[in-house]
Amino acid sequence: MRIERRTHRSTGVVAIGIVTALLVMVALGSLLIASTGAPLLASWAAMARGALGSRLAISEVLTRTTPLIFTGLACAVAFRARLWNIGAEGQFYAGALMLAALGSGLLALPAWLLVPALLLASAAAGSVFLLGPALLKRFLNVDDVVTTLLLNFVMALLVSLLLQGPMRDPLSMGWPQSLPVVDEAVLPKLMSQTRLHAGLLIALACAGVVALVEARTSFGLQRRAAGMGPGAARFAGISATRVVVMTALWSGGLAGMAGAVEVMGLRGYVTGDLSPGYGYTGVIVAMLAQLNPLAVAPSAFLVAAVFVGADAMSRASNVPSYIADVMVGLSLFVMLGTSFLIGYRVKR
Amino acid sequence: MNDSLHILLTATLWAAVLRIATPLIFGMLGELLCERAGIVNLGIEGIMTVGALTAWFAVYSGHGLWTAWFFAALAGGALGLFHGLFSISLAQSQHVTGLGVTLLGSGLASFVYSAAVPSGGSPPTITPFAPLVLPGLGEPLLSATAPCYLALALAAGLAYLLWRTPLGLAIRLVGEHPQGAQAQGLNVVAIRYGCLCAGSAIMALGGAFLTTAAFNSFVINMVQGRGWLALALVVFGAWRPGLGLLGALLYACFDAYQLRLQALFPGIPYQVFLMAPYLLAIVAMVPIARRAIGPQALMVPYVKGER
Amino acid sequence: MTDPATPAVPALELVGITKRFGDMVANRDISLQLQRGEILGLLGENGAGKTTLINILFGHYVSDSGRIRIFGTDLPPGSPRAAIAAGIGLVHQHFTLAPNLSVLDNIMAGTESLWRAASRTRQARERLRALSAQFGLAVDPDARVANLSVGQRQRVEILKSLYRDARILVLDEPTAVLTPGESAVLFETLQRMAGHGLSVILISHKLDEVLRVADRVAILRRGELVGEHAASSLDRARLAELMVGRRVLRPQRRPMAPGAAVLRLDKVDTASTHGGPGLAQADLVVHEHETVAVVGVAGNGQHALMELACGLAAPHAGTLEITGRTVRRPRAGGQHARGVARIPEDRHEEGVVGDLAIWENAILEDLAEPRFVRYGWVRRRAARAHARELIRDFDIRCTGPEQRTRMLSGGNMQKLIIGRGLSTGPQLIVACQPVRGLDEGAIAEVHARLLAARDRGAGILLVTEDLDEALALADRIVVVQRGRLSRPLAAPDFDAARIGLMMLGEQEFDMTRHEN
Closest-approach residue (CA) in chain C for A217: C377
Per the CB < 8 A criterion, the answer to whether C451 and C345 are in contact is: no
- The C-alpha angle with vertex B202 and arms to B201 and B204, in degrees rounded to 5, equals 65
Which distant-in-sequence residues (6+ apart) come within 8 Å of B160 by Cβ?
B168
- Predicted pLDDT at C433: 87
Q: What is the DSSP letter of C144?
A: B
Residues on chain B touching C146 (C-beta within 8 angstroms):
292
Q: Is B186 on the interface with C (CB under 8 A)?
A: yes
Digit-coded pLDDT (tens) for C7-16:
678 888 889 8
Distance CA B234, CA B177 (A): 20
Closest-approach residue (CA) in chain A for B91: A340
Residues on chain C touching A7 (C-beta within 8 angstroms):
407
- Predicted pLDDT at C208: 72
- Predicted pLDDT at B6: 60
Closest-approach residue (CA) in chain A for C348: A232
Which distant-in-sequence residues (6+ apart) come within 8 Å of B61 by Cβ?
none
What burial class does residue A282 get, using C-beta atoms within 10 Å of its C-beta: 0-12 exposed, 13-18 middle, 19+ buried? buried
Closest-approach residue (CA) in chain A for C332: A237
Residue A57: phi and psi, rounded to 5, are: -60, -50
- Predicted pLDDT at C501: 72
Assigned domain for A9 exists:
no
Q: How far is A76 from chain C (nearest CA, A)?
A: 17
Identify the three-state secondary structure at position B204. helix
Taking 70 as the pLDDT cut, the residues of chain C under it are 1-7, 23, 45-47, 176-177, 179-180, 205-206, 236-237, 240-241, 243-251, 274-275, 439-440, 504-516
What residue ranges of chain C are covered by domains with CATH 3.40.50.300?
38-55+81-244, 253-339+425-516
Identify the three-state secondary structure at position C368. coil
- Predicted pLDDT at A152: 92
Per the CB < 8 A criterion, the answer to whether C200 and C38 are in contact is: yes
Per-residue burial over C216-241, b = 16 or more CB atoms within 10 Å of its CB, e = otherwise: bbbbbbebebeeeeebeebebeebbe
What CATH topology corresponds to C253-339+425-516? Rossmann fold (3.40.50)
Q: How far is C81 from chain B (nearest CA, A)?
A: 4
Residues in chain A: 348
Check CB contact under 8 Å for A283 and B275.
no
Assigned domain for A319 exists:
no
Q: Which residue type, as a one-letter code, is found at position A47?
A: M
DSSP result, C426-490: -SEEEEESTTTT--HHHHHHHHHHHHHHHHHT-EEEEEES-HHHHHHH-SEEEEEETTEEPPPEE
Residues on chain C touching B182 (C-beta within 8 angstroms):
60, 80
Class of the C38-55+81-244 domain?
A: alpha beta
Check CB contact under 8 Å for B99 and A280.
yes
Check CB contact under 8 Å for A330 and B231.
no
Which distant-in-sequence residues (6+ apart) come within 8 Å of A337 by Cβ?
B86, B90
CA distances from A285 to A74, A335, B74 (A): 10, 11, 30
Task: Indicate the residue of C92, C101, C111 with minimum beta-carbon distance to B183.
Answer: C92
Q: How far is B243 from chain C (nearest CA, A)?
A: 18
Check CB contact under 8 Å for A217 and C376.
yes
Per the CB < 8 A criterion, the answer to whether B193 and B88 are in contact is: yes
Check CB contact under 8 Å for C350 and A228.
no
Identify the three-state secondary structure at position C288. coil
Q: Is B185 on the interface with C (CB under 8 A)?
A: yes
Distance CA A118, CA A178 (A): 16
Task: Indicate the residue of A8, A221, A234 with minimum beta-carbon distance to C378.
Answer: A221
What burial class does residue C46 get, using C-beta atoms within 10 Å of its C-beta: 0-12 exposed, 13-18 middle, 19+ buried? middle
Distance CA C182, CA C188 (A): 10
Which distant-in-sequence residues (6+ apart) come within 8 Å of A240 by Cβ?
A138, A226, A230, A233, A234
Percent of chain B topping pLDDT 70: 86
User: Do β-strands C325-326 and C484-485 pair in parallel, antiparallel, or remain unpaired?
Assistant: unpaired
Optimal mutation site among B35, B42, B99, interface A, most CBs of chain A within 10 A: B99
Distance CA C84, CA B187 (A): 13
- Nearest CA to C201 out of C297, C96, C108, C87 is that of C87
Name the average pLDDT for chain B.
Answer: 85
Distance CA C325, CA A225 (A): 29
Distance CA C469, CA A321 (A): 70
Distance CA B68, CA B212 (A): 9
The CB density around residue C39, as the number of other CB atoms within 10 Å, is 23
- As for the ipTM of the complex, it is 0.84
Residues in chain C: 516
Task: Indicate the residue of C21, C105, C111 with minimum beta-carbon distance to B307.
Answer: C21
Check CB contact under 8 Å for C365 and A234.
no
Which distant-in-sequence residues (6+ apart) come within 8 Å of B189 by Cβ?
B88, B89, B302, B304
- Nearest CA to B51 out of B299, B300, B226 is that of B226
Distance CA C426, CA C453 (A): 8
Give the residues across from C429 on adjacent strands: C341, C460
Determine the distance from the C-alpha atom of residue C490 to the mean position of all C-alpha atoms in its chain, rounded to a whole number.
26
Assigned domain for A10 exists:
no
Residue B132: phi and psi, rounded to 5, are: -85, 130
pTM to 2 decimal places:
0.82
The CB density around residue C130, as the number of other CB atoms within 10 Å, is 10
Beta strands in chain B (DSSP E): 131-133, 140-145
Give the residues across from C216 on adjacent strands: C40, C230
Per the CB < 8 A criterion, the answer to whether A31 and A345 are in contact is: no
Per the CB < 8 A criterion, the answer to whether B7 and B164 are in contact is: no
Taking 50 as the pLDDT cut, the residues of chain B under it are 305-307
User: Do β-strands C291-295 and C282-287 pair in parallel, antiparallel, or remain unpaired?
Assistant: unpaired
Per-residue pLDDT 10s for chain A (348 aa) are: 445 555 555 667 777 777 887 888 888 889 888 888 888 888 888 888 888 888 888 999 999 999 999 999 999 999 988 888 999 999 999 999 999 888 877 777 887 888 888 999 999 999 999 999 999 988 888 888 888 988 998 999 899 888 888 878 777 777 788 778 777 778 888 877 788 888 899 999 999 999 999 989 999 999 989 888 888 999 998 988 999 999 999 999 999 999 999 998 888 888 888 888 899 899 989 988 888 899 999 999 999 999 999 888 888 887 888 888 899 889 889 888 887 777 665 544
Residues in chain B: 307
Assigned domain for A22 exists:
no
N-to-C CA span, chain C: 59
Per the CB < 8 A criterion, the answer to whether C293 and C486 are in contact is: no
- Predicted pLDDT at C516: 38
Q: How far is C278 from chain B (nearest CA, A)?
A: 25
- Predicted pLDDT at A45: 87
Q: Which domain range does residue A266 map to? A: 65-295
**Secondary-structure breakdown of chain C: helix, strand, coil percentages, each rounded to the nearest 5:** 35, 25, 40
Optimal mutation site among B42, B79, B86, B96, interface A, most CBs of chain A within 10 A: B96
- Nearest CA to A73 out of A264, A295, A303 is that of A295
Number of domains within chain A: 1
Assigned domain for A164 exists:
yes
Check CB contact under 8 Å for B285 and A147.
yes
Q: How far is A90 from chain C (nearest CA, A)?
A: 31
Residues on chain C touching A217 (C-beta within 8 angstroms):
376-378
